[in-house]
Structure formats: structure tokens, C-alpha cells
Amino acid sequence: MREKYPSITCLSKQLHRIVNGESNIQKLDDQWRTIVLVRLPNEIQTEKEPDKFWTLIKEFETGQFIDLAEFALSVLSLPHSNASCERVFSKINCIKTKSRNRLITSTVSATVITSECLKKKNGNCISFQPTKLMFDSMTYTSLYISSASNKTELNKNKTVININEEEEIFLLED
């Protein structure tokens, strides 16, 4: 890879929101060119996971590659796709239909969280057994909001519902 990309100047210029200014671009490029000349500990050389590798480089005792490591970790954190966000928006559009347009945000949020929880446990809405507390929490005022006074009252009555011993769903949070 080093032969193909002897400099990272082009990449750092493309990611100008991560790298500010020409001096920082030059500093990154200097560190990129220098890192191959330094004898790194075996622990770093054998690390296969990119995020762990760059974290080890960042924590390297001399501290001479901190900027390069932070740049690499920032690049690794960039989403390669927005498909997961789009799926959530699609799910919200299915929940908040024209006939259910008065659902408050916390109810929509709780519905999405419940759906994800069921999917994670390979469950479905047919086999799911809600608790008594869950049923008791499903009142008109907790699902729909008609005025600011109701919203104030709603904030006083936030509820935590246990799905099972391991997981909880926090309802009525804004």
C-alpha cells in the first residue's frame, strides 16, 4: 500500500473537515512518511483490527504519531453507508401514519426500540408477552398529547419498563 500511496496529502485535502489547514496536512504527511522508518513493538505490528492498530499507534510511547492516529481513527469512524439510518426513518414512517399522526415522539421512539428489541431476540409481536406494568402504562395521555399541560404532566411520569431481567425500555423520555 505504501508504494501506491507514498503520501496522504490528497486524502487529507479531501477530508478538510477532519484536517484543518496546510500545516496540519503537512504534519500528517510527515508522520505518514516517518511511521515506516520507526521500529514499532511487535504488539502493534501484529494487530489486525484497524481501529485497535491506530489506537495502539496513538498510545505509542514516543507520541510522535498522535496526529496521524487521530486522523486515521476519524476516517474509520465515518459511516460507509446511511442504510441503517434510512431503515429507522422508514420504520418511523410506517409507525407514524396519517391516522396516527398525533403520537408523541417518546411513543414513536419506544415503538422503534421495542421493535429492535424483538428483532434482536428473534421474537415477534405474536409471541411477545407484555407485562401488567406495560399494559398499565399504555394510556391515552402517555401515547398521545393534546396540549402543553399534558406534556408537563407526562414529564413527571416517566416510566422504565423491564422487557426481561437484562433489558429495559425507557418510555416517555423526550
Q: Per-residue confidence at 147, pLDDT binned at 50, 70, 90? A: low
Q: How many whole angstroms separate alpha carbon 163 and alpha carbon 157?
A: 19
Q: Give yes or no: residues 56 and 104 share one domain.
A: no
Residue that is last in its domain, among 77, 95, 124? 77
Contacts of 163 (CB under 8 A, 6+ apart): 114, 117, 169
More confident residue, 8 or 145: 8
Instruction: Render pLDDT for 97-117 as a digit per residue (tens, 0 to 9).
Output: 888 888 888 888 888 888 888
Decide if 28 is inside a domain.
yes
Position 150 scores a pLDDT of 46
Mean pLDDT of 50-73: 92
Domain boundary among 61, 77, 93: 77
In this structure, is residue 174 part of a structural domain?
A: no
Structural domain contains residue 145: yes
Q: pLDDT tens, 4-16?
A: 778 888 888 888 8
Asked if 59 and 111 sit in the same domain, the reply is no
Dihedral over Cα of 96, 99, 104, 110: its sign: negative
Q: Is residue 133 part of a domain?
A: yes
Task: Write down the pLDDT at residue 1.
Answer: 61
Output the nine-digit C-alpha cell for 29: 504527511
How many domains, in total, are found in the chain? 2
Residue 3 lies in a domain: no
Q: What is the pTM of this model?
A: 0.52
Q: Residue 42 pLDDT > 90, yes or no?
A: yes
User: Could you list the residue range(s) of the whole structural domain that residue 112 is in?
Assistant: 82-169
Q: Are residues 48 and 107 in the same domain?
A: no
